[in-house]
Amino acid sequence: MSDYPIDKTNKVKRIPKRGYYDRETIYKVLDAGFLCHIGFAIEDRPFVIPTSYGRDGDKIYLHGASTSRMMVSLEKGIPLCLTVTHLDGLVLARSSFHHSMNYRSAVCFGTAYLVTGEEKDTALKIISDQILVGRWEEARAPIAKEMKATTVLCMTIDQASAKIRTGPPGDEKADYALPIWAGVIPCQQVWGTPEADPLLTEGIPVAESAKRLVAGK
């Protein structure tokens, strides 16, 4: 896979050795989650809104209420910035200054356009599968009224970069002799036991998509 073009917009300046610009690395960061933050500006006022997403190649699909300020604004083609971050651990150094975190993050730049017709149906399934594979087929399909109330946008990634930190703390040479514990506390997301809706009809088993997710499949 080719790299994204690099300029002052997406170049990693702070500790550049942690920066990546190849699609493979950036896609892995995006595909490991489904929650992003969208940054955009309206009349010089910045907004950062959390939302779910789905990726298909260089396309990232977003959805929301048709009356949403974010969706109405982005539909006009204004520049946007999409970020995704995964926390992998707390890095505890011997000095407060060198404490850090292990993480994987991606920052994507582009503009969005309105999705309609068959692409809208496909995009909603892509978003659903990004969150929980198989749930789209298990649930009732959206009816016309619900589709009308939902806006779907597609952002084509024009530029992007990933930034990743791994490994132990990096202390000052003199501090390694200090009698202070240092190391990494790993962090990972774990799904719990599915909890049935109190209004669920008796006898309906846990959805296969939920069972696969909990089992890590």
CATH code of the domain in which 60 resides: 2.30.110.10
194 is a domain residue: no
- Cα–Cα distance, 173 to 185 (Å, whole number): 22
In a domain, 104, yes or no: yes
The answer to whether residue 109 is domain-embedded is yes
pTM for the complete prediction?
0.94
Residue 38 CB-half CA count within 13 A: 28
60 CB-side CA count, 13 A:
31
The tens digit of pLDDT for each residue in 161-188 reads 999 999 999 999 999 999 999 999 999 9
Do the domain assignments include residue 3?
Answer: no
Express each pLDDT in 113-168 by its tens digit: 999 999 999 999 999 999 999 999 999 999 999 999 999 999 999 999 999 999 99
Task: Give residue 84's domain range.
Answer: 16-171+182-187
**Cβ neighbourhood burial of 107 (10 Å; 0-12, 13-18, 19+):** buried
Residue pair 184/91 in contact (Cβ under 8 Å)? The answer is yes
Q: Tokens for 189?
A: 């997301």
- Establish if 80 belongs to a structural domain: yes
